[in-house]
Structure 1
Amino acid sequence: YAAGYLPEIWTPDAATERKRRLVARRYQIVRHRTRIKNEVHAILHAHLIPLCPHADLFSKVGRGWLERQPVPDDERVAIERHVRELDRMGEDLAALDKEIAGEALDDADVARLISITGVNLTVATGLVAAIGDIRRFASPQKLVSYFGLNPRVRQSGLGAAHHGRISKSGRSHARAMLVEAAWAAAKAPGPLHAFFVRIRAKRGHQIAAVALARKLTVLCWHLLTKQTDYRWARPALVATKRRAMELRSGQPQKKGNKPGPAHAYNVKALRDQE
């Protein structure tokens, strides 16, 4: 070690470890909720019950429709048990979101990342927790490899290099959040949408989404390294995200005659202009 032959390994501090635990717990609850919802849908499908006419089966009107469906008694008991479990996990998820939002209010890195179109509080917090200290990544390609979004390369000797699928050799949770953010950014007008459309025309929408996730990773590296906001940020949309973060953390609502900066997002003319 004194001669410098042993490489140093970065270890996260206590605050970063806490963020990672909170994000991991939230991810587990969301996956469990999705699994239970799929079980309810499987019960309805097994008894040839058509799809719910409402947008959300587990909303108030959707649950009323679910109670009127003819299913056997044992299946009815199973559905009621699943619904109770969903309500309980919904309370746990709200408590975790409140804790995560409360800590993210004073985090400058989270504030920079939510300026990107398609990146919300959950994605920004998860990325900040996974990255930790951005200085440990010397280049954007290092961060791309850390998330497993770099393509595999097969080459023998001096022969031609063949690029394949992404390696997926990093943090799977952060990679999944980046792909989710890429799908959201692809739907909104802007440079990221134009990039998605250009790649989709050549390679298809699945490869375009992964390419956009890689582009988001490079963008996050530049924003965190240079400590600047996204140049093409939409002010009203960022203000809406910020206000939603404050409300989720438990801050009281502001009622008065003077609208806040997030009100501009409700005006269609200003929203289209952005």
Structure 2
Amino acid sequence: MRIIGLDIHRAFAEAVAWEDGKLRRLGRVDMRRDLLDAFAAKLSPSDIVVIEATGNASSAAAVVAPHVKKVVIANPKQVRIIAYGKIKTDTIDAGVLAQLYASGFLPEVWVPDEPTQALRRQVTRRNQIVRQRSRLKNVIQSILHSHLIPSCPHADLCGAKGRSWLSEQVVPEDERLAIDRHLREFDRLGDDLQVIERDLARSTLEDEGVKRLMTIPGVDMTVALAMKAAIGDVSRFEEPQKLVSYLGLNPSVRQSGPGPAYHGRITKQGRGHARGMLVEAAWAAARAPGPLRAFFLRVRARRGQHVAAVATARKLAVVIWHLLTKGESYAWARPSLHAKKLRDVELKAGSKAVRGQKGAAHAYNIKSHRDEERRWVEQAETAYARFVSGWNPRGPKRARTGAANEKRL
């Protein structure tokens, strides 16, 4: 059995083979699909190919995989021997990958299937468009600020009322043209965002797991899809703590020798976009009645609201693991609110609005029904707060031995 290490770049890859304890250079391979496939066809079906994770690693693995026994993608953050090498060449890097796998010390990366990769790409595209639209708003705000114009009194600067207010402001002609250009770009991105959200909404309606996550307060279609794309197959996480660690929401730990362990800030490892989405969902969950709000308030009383939001995001990750693993909905879900969320998804997916008919989401429009569901969830919040009221977050106090006051004979 040979182990082939590939150090991949944009235009080429350096190939090194490890066999019988010796390294042998195989040369450079052009990273065009046909030439890479021709190189892989020359390999043995018993070979194992090791690739370091890069932007095109998944595509390269898909081309090579049919010709070899296994393709392994290495975690670049954990292969520090390559980054810190004093003598660093492509040949040495490829050889290090092969040797690490042969010795059993190569940290592997989970490779998602094609539907999960497609979902990740769509979620990333939506995030990019949202960030570009936010940037355009900030540019317009900076133009107004530079001419001593106060902030827009309306919630949405680029909405109908905001644009009407914006047209009344006195700015130089060149700045007016710049604002109009930014607004046109904002509208164009809005059209692209609508198309992407339509595709994402259709994916939501076809995935029971995503609809199940939307039963959690604070979790809408965007957050549920981001979590589904980040997690992929939930069975690869044996316990919820594994998922928490994957999202970088677990605290860092420093311990050496006989000294105690010191816990610091969260590690912030893993997929940052999914972690940020969970924190946003935590803020929304803190405003909705239920046990999650009681948990947020309990932590906020001791550590402040920002720490409480991150702690609630970690709690959400644990809840998500249980819902996906057990195939259950959130225990304290509000049925009418969940039905309204699904109806909003259907409208985004292209369904026509039918007036005069009472659908599944009609109950949310009835105030008495909403208040009844809210009282039921508030009872669960009160029960949780009563249950944890006697908890000591720091553990039992140790009894003093009185050694400091001991009298010597």
Partner of 1:112: 212
Q: Which amino acid in the other structure matches residue 206 of structure 1?
A: H
Equivalence map 1:157-168=2 (5 Å):
157-168=257-268
- Tell me how many residue pairs correspond in the alignment: 273
Match of 1:230 among 330, 351, 362: 330
Structure 2 match to 1:127: 227
2:229 equivalent to 1:141: no
Measured in 1, the distance between the counterparts of 2:175 and 2:330 equals 51
Cα offsets for 1:12-62 (capped at 9, x unmatched): 111000000000000000011111101111111111111222222111121
TM-score with structure 2 length normalisation? 0.65
Q: 1:104-128: per-residue Cα shift (whole Å, max 9, x none)?
A: 1010110110000000000001100
Give the corresponding residue for 2:370: 271
Q: Residue 300 of structure 2 aligns with which residue? A: 200
Distance 2:276 2:164 in 1: 33
Pairwise CA RMSD: 1.7
1:39 is matched with 139
1:73 to 167, 173, 186: 173
Deviation at 1:265, TM superposition (A): 1.1
Corresponding residue of 2:202:
102
Rg larger in 1 or in 2? 2
User: Separation in 1 of the partners of 2:108 and 2:160?
Assistant: 54
The structure 2 residue matched to 1:18, chosen from 110, 118, 134, is 118
Q: Is the 8 A contact 2:299 2:308 kept in 1?
A: yes
Give how far 1:10 is off. Answer: 2.9
Q: Which runs of 5+ in 2 are unaligned?
A: 2-45, 47-101, 374-409
Q: Unaligned 5+ residue runs, structure 1? A: none
- 1:88, CA displacement in angstroms? 0.3
* Secondary structure of the structure 1 residue equivalent to 2:196: helix
Relative distance call for 1:64 and 1:7 in structure 2 (3 A) is: closer
Secondary structure of the residue that 1:229 maps to in structure 2? coil
**Is 1:211 aligned with 2:316?**
no
1:156 CA drift (Å): 1.4
* Matching of residues 162-177 of structure 1 within 5 Å: 162-177=262-277
The question of 1:93 aligning with 2:193 is answered yes
Q: CA deviation at 1:79?
A: 0.7
From the two aligned structures, give the one with the greater strand fraction. 2
Match of 2:359 among 248, 253, 260: 260
Instruction: Identify if the C-alpha distance between structure 1 residues 22 and 157 changes in structure 2 by more than 3 Å, giving closer, same or farther.
Output: same
Describe the superposition over 1:128-156 as per-residue Cα deviations: whole angstroms up to 9, x where unpaired. 01100000001111100111101111111
Cα deviation code 1:159-193 (max 9, x no counterpart): 11111111101100000100010011110111111
Three-state SS of the structure 2 residue aligned to 1:153 is strand
TM-score by length of 1: 0.96
Match 2:320 to one of 217, 220, 237: 220
User: CA separation in 2, counterparts of 1:249 and 1:74?
Assistant: 40
CA contact (8 A) 2:219 2:281 kept: yes
Letter in 2 for 1:88: R
Could you tell me how far apart the structure 1 residues matched to 2:178 and 2:131 are?
19
Secondary structure of the 2:206 match is coil
C-alpha distance in 1 between matches for 2:342 and 2:371 = 20
CA 1:8–1:165 in structure 2 vs 1: closer, same or farther (change >3 Å)? closer
Deviation >6 Å, runs of 4+: 1-4
| Equivalence for 1:27 | 127
Higher helix fraction (1 or 2): 1
Aligned counterpart, 1:60: 160
Q: Which moved further from structure 2: 114-123 or 67-76?
A: 67-76
Cα distance in 2 for partners of 1:9, 1:84 equals: 42
- Greater length-normalized contact order (CA 8 Å, ≥ 6 residues apart): 1
Secondary structure of 1:169's partner? Answer: coil
Deviations 1:235-260 (A, max 9, x none): 00000001111110001223334x12
2:137–2:157 Cα contact (<8 Å) kept: no
Deviation at 1:7, TM superposition (A): 7.7
Which residue in 2 is equivalent to 1:188?
288
Q: Does residue 154 of structure 1 match 2:254? A: yes
2:276 paired with 1:179: no
CA distance in 2, matches of 1:60, 1:256: 28
SS in 1 for 2:110: coil
User: Are positions 1:247 and 2:347 aligned together?
Assistant: yes
Say which is worse superposed, 3-12 or 184-193, in terms of deviation. Answer: 3-12
Query: 1:128 is matched by which residue type in structure 2?
Result: K
